[in-house]
Structure 1
Amino acid sequence: MPRRKKRQQQISRIPRKQGRFETQKKISEVIEIDEAINKTYEDIRENVKEAITKVGNIKKRSYTGTSRSTIWRKKKNKTNEMMDISFNIEIPTTLPLLLQPSQDIIQDPISPIDTRISLHTRLEEVNEQCIITKSSKANIPTYDYLRLLSINRFISLLLDGKNKMDASIQVARSVWNKGDYKARCIRKWGDYFIQTGELFIDHQGKHKKLIGLFEDNSFSINCQSWLQQQKPELRSPKALKIYIEGTLLPTLEYIKKDTISESTCKNYMKMWGYMYNEKRKGVYYDGHERPDVVIYRKEWLKRMFTYKKHMKNFENDNVIESQLKPELVQVTHDECHFYANDRQRKIWTIENEEILYSKYPGRSIMVSAFICPCHGLLRLSDEQLLTNPHIKYKETFVLRSTQTDGYWKSEHMLDQV
C-alpha cells in the first residue's frame, strides 16, 4: 500500500459524525495544530545540534593514573619486586635440607638478613618434622603430612628466587595436581608457618550442627551417677541401655529416637573411664612347672599313650575300634566348688575404684562326677539305686560342704566309685 500524502493524512484526522465530515472550521484547526507540531519538532532538532556542537568543542582531560585500581596494582607490583629481591640469597651446601635448592644463586647484598635467617630456620624445622613423621610413622593424617611437604617445597622455591605466586602454583601442580585454589591455600599455610613455626589449623567442616547425647552434660551426669549407684557385678552396657531407654530418652525433646544400641552404651562407658577387666586379689603362682611335677607329667604321658592303643578312637561321628585286647575305656573325674560369695570375675570398674569384698567365701558345695566317652555321665540304673539305699543320687553326684563335711579327699572319691 503506497504511503499517504500530506493532504490524505490531514483528512484522516478529521473527526466524523454520522458518516459525514465536520465543518471547514474544524478542518482548519486541525491543520494549525499539525503545523505547530512540526515547528516544535524543528526547534528541538536545532537545540540538539547546538548541544552536540558545544560538547564536541570541550577538550578531553588526560588520564593521570590516580584511580584506586591503578594505585593498588602499582603497589602490588612493587611488593612482588621487593620479594623477588629479598629471596635472591645464597644457600650453603652444608645445610641438611630435605629438598635442596639450587646452588647457583648469587647473594644479594640488599636482601634483609632477618628474612634470610627466618626462612632458613623455618625450612630446617619443616624438614625435621617431615623426617620424623615419615620415619616414626606417627599418628598424623596423610593430609597434614602432604601439607608439611607442600610448605617445605614452597619455602625451598622461595629461597630459589621464585615469588610466592609462582612457587605456590608450582607446588599445587606437582604435589596436589590442583590449580589456583590449592595455590592460595599453600600460600596461606606457608605464611602462617613462616610467622609462627606451626602448621595452620583448618576449622572447615569441624563445627557440629547437631547436639549428641554424649555432649549433653545433664545426660552424662545422670548416667554416671546411675552407674555409681549400681553394684559392680550389675554394671553392663545392656543395663545402661535399659536405663537410658526407659528413663532418660523420654525426657529429652531434641532426640527423636527412642532406642540406643548396646555398642553405643559400651563406648560411652569407656569414654567415662570404665574398664571391663578382672578384679584380682593378688598374685597367684601355680606349681605346673615345678621340677617334680614336670617329671611326673612326662611319665604319665608315656603311660597314657600306651593305654590309648587299647581304646576306641572317636573322630566326629566315626568310631574307630581298637585292634588290641583287652579294650580299655578312659573314665575321667571332674569336680567343682560353688561358694556362697562367688561373684562375676570380669566387671566394669572405673579407674582407682576400690571395691571391698568379703574375704570369707561363704559356705560351699562340691560336685563330683565321672564321665566316659562312650556312656557319657556315669549313673546308676533304677535297680542299682534301689539295691544301694545309701546312695542318694543316680548320677553319682556327691554334694559336700567344706564347713560341715570337711575337704574332699581320695577316700571320698573311692567311696563314690
Structure 2
Amino acid sequence: MPNLNSGVEADYNLDEALNDWDELELTDELIDRTMQLPLLWKEEAESSIRGKRQEQEQEQEQHIESVTEEKNNTKAVDSILKTLSTDIQPALDRQSRFNKEDAFHICKMQASSKKAAIDIWITPSDNYRAKAIRYWAKEYVDCGYISKHQQGKHAKVVSLLSDESIKESIRSHFSKVKVEKRTLSDLLEHLNTVIIPEIIGVTGQVSHVTLWRYMKEWGYSYKRHSKQIYVDGHERKDVVSYRQSWAKRMMGYKRQMETYSGDNEEIVTPPSLHSGQKQIVMVTHDESTFYANDGKQQTRVAEGETVLRKKTPGQSIMVSEFQCACHGTMRQSPAWMSRTLFEAGGNREKWWTHEHMTHQLKEDAIPIFELLHPNSQALFIFDQSNNHNAYASNALRVVGMRKDSEFCGPANSDHCSNHKYRDGYYIDPKTGEMITQSMYTFVKQCIYEQ
C-alpha cells in the first residue's frame, strides 16, 4: 500500500477496486477464505475514506507551508543579522568607550537572533526575552533603529514624609501622646491639619496607607498589649560599669558559699575557708501580690450557661519573704518565720513602704537567720524597686520642705514630715574650702523633745 504521508501524490483512485492480488501480496488460501465470507457495504464507508484522504492532504499542505515559512524566517534573520553586523562591531570590554546605556543598546541589537540571545543570556527566559527579541527585530525592520534603554529613567516621586523636619515633628507629637491613646487616624488628622500647614503653608493630603507605611519604617508597630519585662537604662555606661564591678564582687563572695550539685541539688559541698573567714549565706528577698478575683480566665461551661465575673481585681494580700538556699523560707516555729502578709488598702493596712520591709528585716529575718546559721555571715540581696529606696530623715529633699521655719524633729510614722534638715555646704570658688551652710535663718522652739 503506498504511504500517504510521504508527500508523493498517489497514481490511483480510491473509488476504483483493486484487483491486482500480487501487488496486494495476498495468498490463494487467503483469497479463497475471503471469497466465502458475506460482504456488506456500509453507507458511510465512502465518506469516511474520502474524509481521511482530505485530512491527509491538509496535513501535507500545512507541513509544506511550515517548512517554507521556517526557511523564509531563517533567511530573514540571517539578512537582519548581516545588516546589524556593522552596528555591533565594537568589542564590549572594560576599555570600551561605550557606557552602560550603549552597552545595553548593543545587547538588544545582538539579541535579534536566537544565537545572539544564547550568547548574551546564559539562561534565557521562556517568554519575556523571546517576545523582546521579536519586538526589537520588528522595530529595527520597520524603523531602522532600536529604542534606547529606559530603565531607571522614570519620574521619581518623593513623599512629604521623607522630609526630616516633618518626620521629627510627627515623632515628637506621637511621643507626647499616651501609648493607649495613640491611633493612626488621630495622627493623620494632626499631620494634615497642623504639621504640614505649619511647615509648607498648605493643607496636607497624606493618605492613611502612606502614613501607615512610613510608621513601620520609623520603627512603630501595631501589636496587642502583653505583659513584658520593663527595661530602662540597662545599657547606660554607669550601669554597665556598676554591673561589672558587682559581678566581680559576687564571684568573690561565692568562694565562701556552699555549692549544690546533683539532679535535685542534693549534694552539698562546703567552701574552703581560710583562717578567720566565715561562711557566707545568701538570703534573697522578693514580694508578690495576690488578688481575690485572680481566678482562672478559661472555664468549662454548659451550653447556654453564662458565668459572670467581677470586673475589679478585688482585695489583695501582699507576701514579703526572705529565703536562703539551704532552708528556703526561714522559720523557727510555725508562727515565727521570714514571711509577712500585708493587706494593702486605704481602709486596711495602708500601703507597703520601705519602713515595713526594714521592720521585717530587723524583727524577723535577721534574728531567725542567726538562729539557723550560727557563726555565718548573711548576704542579703534585694531587687531594684522604688519601695526599697529610702532617704535619711534629715536628707535635703525639696519635696518635704516648707516655707516656714517650724520643725518637729526627725520624720517617722509618729511625727510630721516637717522635720529639721541637715546642714548643707558649698565650695568657695577662691579658696576651694568647703563652707557649711544652715538651711534655717533662725530656730524656733521645737515642739518635739529630741
TM-score between the two structures when normalised by the length of structure 1 = 0.33
Q: Which has the higher contact order (CA 8 A, sep 6+)?
A: 1
**Structure 1 or 2: more helix by fraction:** 1
TM-score between the two structures when normalised by the length of structure 2 = 0.31
